[in-house]
């Protein structure tokens, strides 16, 4: 399937990358917060004020991806989110505790459900199409992409809006920090949406050649897949790796790098977007952007006319995923 | 040719029973499980009746054979999913049977939930608000929706594919739909699909702010309805295609012949007055099955008991069926609204109806929303020639899904 429109909001300012370019440099922070654009041209001001950050950035990137692809009524809207609408969940929980279950108002509760982003996109578009939300930790984006691929197979000629969003809040930051999440890698957040279709066109960014997920695989399973991938694709130009600084899974990342070819250059994308479960959506955007522009430009690492970019991500809970992008 | 998708196993736990047999008995006997709140610690325990599973977490853990801190959502989900695998002949010893006649089956778990581990988080939170370093982290470990599914998957021994859907009250219908699609695409051989939700203060108070909770026992699809009662539970089905069906040697009575998901695109929580999303979901499910509305034998309604849902749903039904209504009722009058679990539970009740040729009633009906005689089922009805059932699940965010079950 082809990415025929893509948009992202991230701690690294990338929202207007298509028109203004992007300076891919590591973001230096402890707690990453997305660089929000002026939403005015995409969403009604009155609506923006009522939206939490995850809804704003999700809806804006969805609208932008559609606009780029010239599609107003997608045949499916698929959203991945590991944590869902944490800000509104936190607000409602806090009031629930403080007011001892009395005198509560509905707004935060209404917007706390996991499907709010996808629902708001449908509502703004008046789109009655298939709409689904996947919430399987760091596979949430990949499972959405896999559904997009299946939907395109089932419905030839259709277009699917697919993306992911997660937000970092004061509460989640404090909790995840206690889980020792941000000791070496700063915490992040972000949203990215893609308009995907079975056919390419002049506006295409990249082709998604493979998506593969594994949950707590045996070493043989993952070895078999990585070996097969390297044999079939002896032209991977870049590994976009989810490895974090001081990553406890560094050996696993190194193993995969070894399988696909140790001499293949690697970029650790979480230095731009931070650590969060659906960060692969940002990596997918970044890889597609480099393939579209025909140049990998990340400070010290420059590559001309890249053909294939492999995104690999794993975590301590045993989730592994591969996304292989190819230039059009 | 697209292959058929069979229901090879069912597992249910709700306020009317801890397995499918107990649920079925209560439905036959007209016994509701909704009553005063006993297990959830809430200010509203005496104000709002709810459909609680009649067991505390220790009893559920004993049933599951689990130790440690687990969300009630995970416990309920595991108990129901395990029962479904047992019926399908895919449970061996204390875990899933991965190999059959020398073949390794590719097995997926697609769960769904709206609250996930919120039952634990909401008790952790008061201490955390006072001091962000306080409270035991094991109480927030299953906060994430995906974490409850992961816990269920590890309990079952499923590793090939796991996924969680969260589209509010239509969640488990969407899980069953995705399961069928993955089977048809040949990506998996067996799918355990459904949903689970525990009652929590978060949802009880949330629905209370929307002013849609009934302080009495709910009267869904009645003109005098006052709102919904919340419930809790889990419902899972085991889905298999032709090839796995042969391998398992089962002769299955019910298949999933159609499904559709549409969005109402009207409002974040309210359904549209013309029932567009519900209409499109029902219409899509029938189109996929290749049947006309006249061939629908019965509708298991979403039927929550709110003014808005029951009005919107009945208008959508009228748009699709004209005045030739099939029989219909809502089993939420027995179970309360179990949110992400309702599509799974009601899929199971639909299977029981087809297998036993019986329609379960809408309890407490005085003036049915659709007053054509006999349309809204008000007492247990033994029938003959029931071939197919449409099961509706509609949710917040305009998410509407319908499943169409038929006898094989």
Residues A153 and A85 reside in one and the same domain? yes
Considering A130, A164, A197, which residue would you say is the last residue of a domain?
A197
Q: Decide if A119 and B122 are in contact by the 8 Å CB cutoff.
A: no
Residues A167 and A299 reside in one and the same domain? no
Cα-based distances in Å from B137 to A81, A176, A189, A210, B408: 22, 10, 22, 37, 49
Residues B116 and B188 reside in one and the same domain? yes
Residues A228 and A321 reside in one and the same domain? yes
Distance (Å) from the C-alpha of residue A107 to the closest C-alpha of chain B? 9
pLDDT given for residue A77 in this prediction: 98
CA A168 to chain centre: 14
A98 chain-B contacts, CB cut-off 8 A: 129
Q: Decide if A134 and B164 are in contact by the 8 Å CB cutoff.
A: yes
pLDDT given for residue B403 in this prediction: 98
Is B267 catalytic? The answer is no
How many C-beta atoms lie closer than 10 Å to residue A48's C-beta? 17
The maximal CA–CA distance of chain B, rounded, in angstroms, is 63
pLDDT given for residue A234 in this prediction: 66
Residues B71 and B98 reside in one and the same domain? yes
Distance (Å) from the C-alpha of residue B245 to the closest C-alpha of chain A? 23
Q: Residue A161's domain is classified under what CATH number?
A: 3.40.47.10
Residues B299 and B208 reside in one and the same domain? no
A315 chain-B contacts, CB cut-off 8 A: none
Is B28 catalytic? The answer is no
Residues B193 and B298 reside in one and the same domain? no
Give tens-digit pLDDT for A284-317. Answer: 999 999 999 999 999 889 999 999 999 999 999 9
Question: Does B41 reside within a domain?
Answer: yes
Question: Does A105 reside within a domain?
Answer: yes
pLDDT given for residue B1 in this prediction: 43
- The residue in chain B having the minimum alpha-carbon distance to the alpha carbon of residue A123 is B265
Q: Decide if A132 and B174 are in contact by the 8 Å CB cutoff.
A: yes
C-beta separation of A134 from A78 below 8 A: yes
pLDDT given for residue A85 in this prediction: 98
Residues B186 and B322 reside in one and the same domain? no
Q: Residue B373's domain is classified under what CATH number?
A: 3.40.47.10
Confidence of residue B218 (pLDDT cuts 50, 70, 90): very high
Q: Mind giving me the DSSP string for B3-35?
A: PP-EEEEEEEEETTBSSHHHHHHHHHHT----B
Considering A178, A197, A216, which residue would you say is the last residue of a domain?
A197
Residues A141 and A290 reside in one and the same domain? no
Considering B248, B281, B312, which residue would you say is the last residue of a domain?
B248
> Residue A101 sits in which domain range?
2-197
pLDDT given for residue A233 in this prediction: 67
pLDDT given for residue A229 in this prediction: 84
Mean pLDDT of chain B: 97
Question: Does B98 reside within a domain?
Answer: yes
Is B218 catalytic? The answer is no
Residues A182 and A231 reside in one and the same domain? no
Considering B195, B218, B248, which residue would you say is the last residue of a domain?
B248
pLDDT given for residue A223 in this prediction: 87
Considering B215, B232, B248, which residue would you say is the last residue of a domain?
B248
pLDDT given for residue A227 in this prediction: 85
- Contact residues for B93 (Cβ-Cβ < 8 A; gap 6+): none
Considering A129, A162, A197, which residue would you say is the last residue of a domain?
A197
Positions of chain A with pLDDT under 50:
none
Distance (Å) from the C-alpha of residue A69 to the closest C-alpha of chain B? 22
Residues B275 and B179 reside in one and the same domain? no
State both tokens at A267.
Answer: 């970029």
pLDDT given for residue B2 in this prediction: 60
Question: Which one of A88, A118, A136 would you mutate to disrupt binding with B, by most B Cβ within 10 Å of its Cβ?
Answer: A136
Question: Does A202 reside within a domain?
Answer: no
pLDDT given for residue A230 in this prediction: 81
Instruction: Please state the domain count of chain B.
Output: 2
pLDDT given for residue A219 in this prediction: 86
> Residue B340 sits in which domain range?
254-407
pLDDT given for residue A39 in this prediction: 94
Question: Does B1 reside within a domain?
Answer: no
Residues A44 and A169 reside in one and the same domain? yes
- The residue in chain B having the minimum alpha-carbon distance to the alpha carbon of residue A146 is B182
pLDDT given for residue B225 in this prediction: 98
Percent of chain B with pLDDT over 70: 100
Q: Please list, residue by residue across A216-225, b when 16 or more beta carbons sit within 10 angstroms of its beta carbon and e when fewer do.
A: ebeeeebeeb
Confidence of residue B43 (pLDDT cuts 50, 70, 90): very high
């Amino acid at each position: 399937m082809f990415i025929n429109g893509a948009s992202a909001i991230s701690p690294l300012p990338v929202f207007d990358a298509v028109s203004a370019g992007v300076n891919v440099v590591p973001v230096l922070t402890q707690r990453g917060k997305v660089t929000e654009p002026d939403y005015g041209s995409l969403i009604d001001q009155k609506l923006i004020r009522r939206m939490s950050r995850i809804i704003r950035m999700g809806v804006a990137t969805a609208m932008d991806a559609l606009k780029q692809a010239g599609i107003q009524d997608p045949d499916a809207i698929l959203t991945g989110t590991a944590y869902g609408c944490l800000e509104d969940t936190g607000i409602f929980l806090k009031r629930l505790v403080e007011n001892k279950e009395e005198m509560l108002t509905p707004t935060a509760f209404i917007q706390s459900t996991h499907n709010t982003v996808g629902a708001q996109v449908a509502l703004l578009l008046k789109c009655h199409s298939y709409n689904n939300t996947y919430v399987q930790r760091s596979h949430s984006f990949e499972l959405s992409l896999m559904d997009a691929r299946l939907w395109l197979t089932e419905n030839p000629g259709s277009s699917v809006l697919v993306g992911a969003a997660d937000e970092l809040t004061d509460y989640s930051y404090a909790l995840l920090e206690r889980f020792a999440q941000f000791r070496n890698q700063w915490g992040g957040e972000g949203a990215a949406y893609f308009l995907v279709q079975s056919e390419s066109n002049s506006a295409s960014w990249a082709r998604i050649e493979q998506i593969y997920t594994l949950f707590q695989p045996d070493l043989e399973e993952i070895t078999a897949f990585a070996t097969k991938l390297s044999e079939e694709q002896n032209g991977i130009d870049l590994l976009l790796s989810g490895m974090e600084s001081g990553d406890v899974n560094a050996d696993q990342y190194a193993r995969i790098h070894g399988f696909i070819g140790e001499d293949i250059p690697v970029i650790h994308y979480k230095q731009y977007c931070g650590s969060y479960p659906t960060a692969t959506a940002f990596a997918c955007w970044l890889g597609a952007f480099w393939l579209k522009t025909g140049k990998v430009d990340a400070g010290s690492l420059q590559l001309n006319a890249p053909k294939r970019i492999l995104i690999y991500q794993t975590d301590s809970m045993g989730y592994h995923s591969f996304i292989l992008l190819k230039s059009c | 040719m697209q292959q058929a998708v069979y229901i090879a196993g069912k597992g249910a736990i709700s306020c009317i029973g801890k397995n499918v047999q107990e649920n079925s008995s209560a439905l036959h006997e007209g016994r509701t499980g909704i009553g005063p709140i006993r297990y959830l610690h809430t200010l509203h325990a005496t104000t709002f009746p709810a459909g609680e599973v009649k067991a505390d977490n220790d009893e559920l853990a004993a049933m599951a054979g689990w130790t440690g801190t687990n969300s009630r959502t995970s416990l309920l989900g595991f108990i129901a999913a395990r029962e479904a695998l047992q019926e399908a002949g895919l449970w061996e010893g204390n875990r899933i049977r991965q190999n059959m006649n020398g073949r390794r089956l590719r097995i997926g778990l697609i769960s769904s939930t709206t609250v996930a581990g919120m039952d634990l988080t909401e008790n952790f939170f008061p201490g955390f608000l006072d001091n962000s370093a306080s409270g035991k982290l094991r109480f927030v470990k299953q906060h994430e929706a995906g974490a409850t599914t992961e816990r269920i998957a590890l309990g079952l021994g499923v590793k090939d594919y796991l996924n969680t859907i969260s589209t509010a009250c239509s969640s488990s219908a969407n899980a069953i739909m995705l399961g069928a699609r993955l089977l048809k695409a040949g990506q998996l051989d067996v799918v355990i699909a459904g949903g689970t939700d525990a009652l929590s203060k978060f949802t009880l108070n949330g629905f209370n702010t929307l002013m849609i909770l009934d302080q009495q026992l709910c009267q869904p699809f009645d003109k005098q309805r006052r709102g919904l009662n919340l419930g809790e539970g889990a419902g899972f089905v085991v889905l298999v295609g032709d090839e796995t069906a042969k391998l398992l040697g089962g002769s299955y009575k019910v298949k999933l012949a159609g499904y559709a998901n549409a969005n109402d695109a009207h409002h974040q929580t309210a359904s549209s007055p013309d029932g567009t999303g519900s209409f499109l979901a029902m219409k899509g499910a029938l189109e996929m099955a290749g049947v006309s509305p006249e061939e629908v034998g019965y509708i298991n309604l979403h039927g929550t008991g709110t003014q808005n849902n029951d009005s919107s749903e009945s208008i959508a039904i009228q748009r699709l069926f004209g005045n030739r209504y099939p029989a219909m009722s809502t089993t939420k009058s027995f179970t309360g609204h179990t949110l992400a679990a309702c599509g799974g539970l009601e899929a199971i009740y639909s299977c029981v109806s087809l297998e036993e040729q019986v329609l379960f009633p809408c309890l407490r009906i005085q003036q049915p929303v659709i007053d054509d005689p006999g349309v809204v089922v008000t007492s247990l009805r033994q029938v003959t020639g029931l071939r197919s059932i449409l099961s509706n699940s509609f949710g917040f965010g305009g998410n509407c899904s319908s499943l169409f079950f038929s006898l094989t």
